[in-house]
Chains A and B, each alone.
Chain A
């Protein structure tokens, strides 16, 4: 389990991370989401001691990362897939990492096989594609057979087979009792395997709940089509109900399909179409973080 308590980081007048508190449970995949500039990468760097927090701390099974005798045996991390010397081969890159963490050299070949890079082991990383670098970085995180994985955008550059492998591996890792903390902008991908989400915006914690709980924050949307859109909109109007009309089509929020059907029947309004669209995690998160986005599209 990872326990983050009151984590704070200032850069001059700017507060990059503001009093973050959350836990990452063992046996679960926890997604870490937020817009650009929300403080995700800064948080993850503080979680492995690369950046000094101004306040707060992070503990792994009750121990601070910087107090661990062999961090790589408990925590494997990938914060930047480019962290490798272009003049080193994949094998030598991992050999150096294994030596630094007092991990047997035999693990190098094992993790290269795990990530599918055994045939590229003796190639210089300068010639690697982004996907190969991601796989090599993952191999480095797995060297110590850790119980915790911290990954920042791990699926960047991976092909569909690689993304699927990553998803299956992280899910399997969690099912075997490990803790997975993964940040990603691919909300649809994350929603397929994350159990919990930590949502940040403007450096602040916006939510730390299960995926289901976060998705349920946004009500379903009811879509109705009728020859009498103005009449239907009038009867549906009420507190907490919003109606958007485009021609004969109404998009209604704040009520249920059953309620729309009942009101239409009671007022003699014929419906051509009536359907309910479940809220997507992506829409819910965009709604949650929209106000705190540092760089937003027009």
Chain B
């Protein structure tokens, strides 16, 4: 092994320079580049993206092919796979933190950037982008699958509105996953907890709760962003629903709180 000469001209003052708050802000793009490399270098994330497309096309396609209502269009069916896509986005969000914690690379990142909020900011931006990418993939695949399943394409203006709310839903789901991952720090625990809450606790107990309380459950609120339509809701439930921006605030509030708690714990906990 040989020692090569370094190509970086650090000065003495470079090496021992004291950071300021503006230095930390300027460090966010660098941290973001690092997160992007880590995300795209993993085969598993590419598999999840492909899986999202398959799920989207398959679910919407099957619903279209078996639909008994002739007025259903692809512009409505494309959102039906999205609760599952949201779960995938949450899982990716969890893994963005717990994967690093369990492999020890979180310690490497924290040693490189002692201002821990820089790491959080980079991961938050990356998780948002992941959610948007998975959401767009799921919707495009869903729309294509529904069209191939034999239904009409439907209205363009309604499609745009639903797509934008759906992107917000998936992006927030990814952020909730990141926040839960930062709190739990353990992959199996975080994923199990999130899935149990969403598919078991909320699904089993939510119907027994008063409507006024159900609005404020995280995934019940998030699902309302999709505006699944009257086919799956009783008219009195539709009449008692909040407006979509209100559901966005509720679901977004859970994302914000989980990230805030996760950030606080990241600062307080020792990182081994």
Contact pick for B105, options A50, A63, A85, CB 8 Å:
A85
Per-position 1/0 for B7-48, Cβ under 8 A of A: 110100011111110010001001101100110011110000
Q: Are B43 and A84 in contact (CB under 8 A)?
A: no
Other A-B pairs, 19, CB within 8 Å; known A84-B104, A101-B112, A145-B10: A50-B107, A61-B16, A67-B114, A68-B16, A71-B114, A72-B112, A82-B103, A83-B104, A83-B107, A85-B103, A88-B42, A89-B41, A95-B37, A96-B38, A99-B34, A100-B33, A110-B4, A114-B3, A169-B1
Question: Are B270 and A100 in touch, CB under 8 angstroms?
Answer: no
Task: Assess whether B192 is interfacial by the CB under 8 Å rule.
Answer: no
B10 and A73 form a contact (CB under 8 A): yes
Do A80 and B107 touch (CB < 8 A)? yes
Pick from A82, A92, A144: contact of B104, CB below 8 A: A82
Residue A69 interfacial (CB < 8 Å): yes
Report the count of interface residues on A (CB-CB < 8 A): 57
Q: Which residues of B are found within 8 Å of A114, using beta-carbon distances? A: 1-4
CB-CB nearest in chain A for B113: A100
Contact A74:B15 (CB < 8 A) given known A50-B107, A97-B112: yes
Per-position 1/0 for A84-124, Cβ under 8 A of B = 11111100110111011111101100100111100000000
Q: Is the CB of B18 within 8 A of A80?
A: no
Which residues of A sit under 8 angstroms from B114, Cβ to Cβ? 49, 65-68, 71
Contact of B227 with A by CB under 8 A: no
In the bound complex, residues from chain B placing their C-beta under 8 Å from that of A70 are 14-15, 17
In the complex, what distance in Å separates the CA atom of A52 from the CA atom of B23? 22
Q: Is A252 an interface residue when CB atoms closer than 8 A count as contact? A: no
| Cβ-closest chain A residue relative to B109 | A100
Say whether A248 faces chain B, with CB atoms less than 8 Å apart: no
Q: From known contacts A62-B16, A77-B111, infer whether A100 and B8 are also in contact, taking CB-CB under 8 Å.
A: no
Determine if B202 is an interface residue (Cβ-Cβ < 8 Å). Answer: no
Interface residues of A in 40-72 (CB under 8 A from B): 45, 48-52, 60-63, 65-72
Q: Are A83 and B105 in contact (CB under 8 A)?
A: yes
* Contact surface of B with A, Cβ cutoff 8 Å: 1-4, 6-8, 10, 14-20, 23, 27, 30-31, 33-34, 37-38, 41-44, 99-100, 103-105, 107-114, 270-272
Q: A residues within 8 A CB of B105?
A: 83-85, 93, 96
Contact B8 A88 (CB under 8 A): no
Query: Residue A73 contacts which of B1, B15, B30, B113 (CB distance < 8 angstroms)?
Result: B15
Q: Which of B3, B99, B112, B271 has the most C-beta atoms of chain A within 10 angstroms of its own C-beta?
A: B112
A86 to B43, CA, bound (A): 11
Given contacts A68-B16, A92-B37, A113-B2, contact A101 B107 (CB under 8 A): no
**Does A172 make an interface contact (CB < 8 A)?**
yes
Per the bound structure, the CA–CA distance linking A133 and B212 in Å amounts to 55
Asked if A107 contacts B112 (CB within 8 A), the reply is no
List the B side residues contacting A82 at CB < 8 Å: 103-104
Residues in A with CB closer than 8 Å to B41 are 87-89, 92, 95-96
Q: Taking A83-B103, A115-B1 as contacts, is the C-beta distance between A63 and B16 under 8 angstroms?
A: yes
Q: Rank and list the top 8 A-B pairs by shortest CB-CB distance, nearest first.
A: A83-B104, A100-B34, A69-B19, A92-B41, A66-B114, A99-B34, A145-B6, A99-B33
* A165 is an interface residue with CB less than 8 A from chain B: yes
Task: Give the distance in Å from the alpha carbon of A80 to the alpha carbon of B103 in the complex.
Answer: 10
Judge whether A140 is part of the interface by a CB distance below 8 angstroms: yes
- Interface: A155 (CB within 8 A): no
Q: What is the minimal beta-carbon distance from B234 to any residue of chain A, in angstroms?
A: 46
Taking CB atoms, residues of chain A closer than 8 Å to B6 are: 107, 110, 145
Choice from B2, B23, B30 contacting A101 with Cβ under 8 Å: B30
Q: Judge whether A179 is part of the interface by a CB distance below 8 angstroms.
A: no
How far is the CB of A267 from the nearest CB of chain B, in Å?
59
For this complex, 8 residue pairs linking A to B, each with C-beta atoms less than 8 Å apart, are: A49-B111, A68-B114, A77-B111, A84-B104, A85-B105, A93-B105, A114-B2, A169-B1
Give the residues in chain A near B272, CB-CB below 8 Å: 45, 50-51
Q: Does A147 contact B (CB under 8 A)?
A: yes
B170–chain A nearest beta-carbon distance, Å: 24
- In the complex formed, the residue of A with least CB distance to B42 is A87
A96 touches B34 (CB 8 A): yes
**B7 closest partner in A (C-beta):** A106
Please give the distance in Å from A57's CB to the nearest CB on chain B: 13
A79 within 8 A of partner (CB): yes
What B residues does A77 contact at CB under 8 A? 111
Tell me the complex Cα distance, A274–B3, Å: 48
In angstroms, how far is the closest chain A Cβ from the Cβ of B142? 29
Q: Is the CB of A71 within 8 A of B104?
A: no
The contact of B30 among A49, A88, A100, A110, by CB within 8 Å, is: A100
B3 touches A172 (CB 8 A): yes
In the complex, are the beta carbons of B107 and A85 less than 8 A apart? no
Indicate the member of A80, A96, A113 with the most B CB atoms within 10 Å: A96
Please state if B30 and A48 are interface contacts (CB–CB under 8 Å). no
- For A146, list chain B residues within 8 Å (CB): 15
Interchain nearest-CB distance for A96 vs B (Å): 4
Contact of B270 among A50, A88, A101 (CB under 8 A): A50
Which of A51, A83, A86, A116 has the largest number of chain B CB atoms within 10 A?
Answer: A83
Q: Is the CB of A80 within 8 A of B104?
A: yes
